[in-house]
Amino acid sequence: MRNPFVQGRANAVGAALLCWITLSPGIATGACAGDCGTDGSVSVDEVITLVNLALNGGSVAACAPGDGDGDGSITVDEIVIAVTHALTGCPDSATPTATATASATPTVTPTADPELAYMSDAEFESRKTALLEAATVRLRPDSMTSVLAHLERDATDPAWEAPAGAVPADAWNAVFTKVANLKDTSDFDVLMLINLLYRFDGHPMVHPGIWQRAEETVLGFKYWYTQTGPEGVVDHMWYWTENHLIMFHTIEYLAGQRWPERRFTHTGMTGAEHKADARERLLDWFDLRARFGFSEFLSNTYYAFDLRPLLTLAEFADDEELVRRAQMTIDLLAYDLAIHTFRGAFGSPHGRAFKSNKTNASRESTFEAVKFLYDTTAIDYPDADDGTAVLFALSSRYRVPRVLQEIAAAPGPFANRQRMGIFFDEFERGAAAPHPDGFRYDTFEDLIVWWSMSNLTAWQVVPKTLELINTYDLWETDGFQPFRAVRDLTAVPGIAQTVALNLAHALSMPLLEQVNLYTYRTADYMLSSAQNYRIGSRSNEGHFWQATFDHEAIVFTQHPGIPPVESSNWSADGEPG
């Protein structure tokens, strides 16, 4: 595994390692390790300075007090100590500084007082109350998120009662029909069914028939593209992007955990078998995120759909390792949101974004979650029917670290540099060289890695892509139907590879390869860009630089691949932007 500093994951230092440690007496490291300005305290800006020094190998003269052992470099342990001082204050000169030792427990805190380490219980309850009050102004019986919010308020607010029978027997017919027909994003719906069944199965607000159909739907679902689905139904689900992978693996694990002895309707597997398979795939997904970060980098759409399964897994999994890794990965995403949020806007480049999310921060899929975690804007919740924010509010096993709240609120100025994603050269000539990270081009196992970064059409992966499409007859699915016109051309992989190489600037349009990110934030504005990213190539759903002044005052450039819908309201255009 690569050194996280070499890979450029400031997140791994700035979030997970800071939130999964316990302190014990150690070696004194000077008056106040991390106090770059020698003013007797450690600020968020100084912590970020140390992270950047560690990532970029700069001179420690920029923060000599951060180099506790005097070796001329900044280490993870030294950053952890500096964060401890930022949280708890600088120690007296006579008091030994604590050092960090790893802990395997998923509930430890980096200080003796949890109130100093995480969002306090009082603050959490206050924000939860505000969100649930907004989410329960009216009931939308056809929205599982709305129902979930109502049921949680009924369970936690003694002065409020959910109306019995308010969700009639046919309220979720559209959901059940969609899932039965294996339509794309059915996994998103099954995740909410899992949440409802784990939390409130049988509640009288929901018609009894719905609870029965929900259980049958989960037991009858197809959780992986290699599994058997209902006979005669074309599987249109897209399994392979980063957010879908964590979604499918989470719901399969939790379904198997809930019904370990049951034999699932179409797959023929027991719940225990589903759980075991899903666990291995979950660990693979976590390993890739820890090593490379997110290919769908800083997405104001799909970070929300990463967070939902992670929060669900952390809440209900009976496996300590999975809970811990889910919590740590939430920290990584929360760090990204904190460092790139300005006045409520997630004002960064986005590996994937949609036009409707771009012109106003309140329309971002991450907005409600950011408001719940950091509250950097006075804007009310624009859509209280948001699954990500509601799952944060319902979580009993996750609290955002206070240092991330401080980062989100820090006025700056500061700069943040990150590298995320997997290196790939779609313009490579000659025989494909061994990939520097050890991935292969001739196995289905590694093809999933390439597809997770939307790399289906680079010439190196084309032969295996075509083999998978043909093996599982994906030509008939909604995702591949547009390409059936060129199916004959793909019959000879060598020809397809030649076309893919010579038209790489166009055909590799959705590719999400490694990216270098730079963000500069002040009290008045934030500038953020993906540096020299895929110059000269087309992109799908990409958003590569932005200047942010307010949630409604943003500047960016875009060249849509198709004419935009004529409308006075750009949010009416749901096409990729």
Least confident stretch, 39-48, 60-69, 564-573:
564-573
Look up residue 527 and give its amino acid: L
Q: What is the pLDDT of residues 89-144, one digit of tens each?
A: 787 643 333 333 333 333 323 333 555 689 999 999 999 999 999 999 999 999 99
Q: What is the pLDDT of residues 421-443, one digit of tens each?
A: 999 999 999 888 999 999 999 99
The token pair at 193 is 């069914």
| DSSP string for 393-435 | HH-SS---BHHHHHHHH----EEEEEEES----TT--SSPPPP
Q: What is the pLDDT of residues 361-416, one digit of tens each?
A: 888 999 999 999 999 888 888 766 799 999 999 999 999 999 999 999 998 899 99
Q: Which residue has the tokens 């390439």?
A: 450
- Supply the pLDDT for residue 575: 56
- Supply the pLDDT for residue 61: 86
What percent of the chain lies above the pLDDT cut of 70? Answer: 85
The model's confidence at residue 196, banded by pLDDT at 50, 70 and 90, is: very high
Question: Where is 102: in which H helix or E strand?
Answer: strand 98-102
- Supply the pLDDT for residue 10: 35
Q: How far apart are CA 477 and CA 229, in angstroms?
A: 14
Q: What is the mean pLDDT of residues 49-75?
A: 80
Q: In sequence order, what are the residues at sequence separation of 6 or more whose Cβ sits closer than 8 angstroms to the Cβ of residue 419?
A: 7, 8, 9, 293, 514, 515, 516, 517
The b/e string for 427-466 (b: 16+ C-beta within 10 A; e otherwise) is eeeeebeebeeebbbeeeebbbbbbbbbbbbbbbbbbbbb
The model's confidence at residue 24, banded by pLDDT at 50, 70 and 90, is: very low
> Helices in 20-166 by DSSP H: which ranges?
44-56, 76-88, 114-117, 121-135, 144-156
Kindly tell me if the per-residue pLDDT of 488 is higher than 80. Answer: no
Kindly tell me if the per-residue pLDDT of 8 is higher than 50. Answer: no
Q: What is the pLDDT of residues 514-571, one digit of tens each?
A: 999 999 999 999 999 999 999 989 888 899 999 999 988 989 987 766 666 666 555 5
Q: How far apart are CA 2 and CA 421, in angstroms?
A: 13
The token pair at 358 is 């771009």
Kindly tell me if the per-residue pLDDT of 194 is higher than 50. Answer: yes
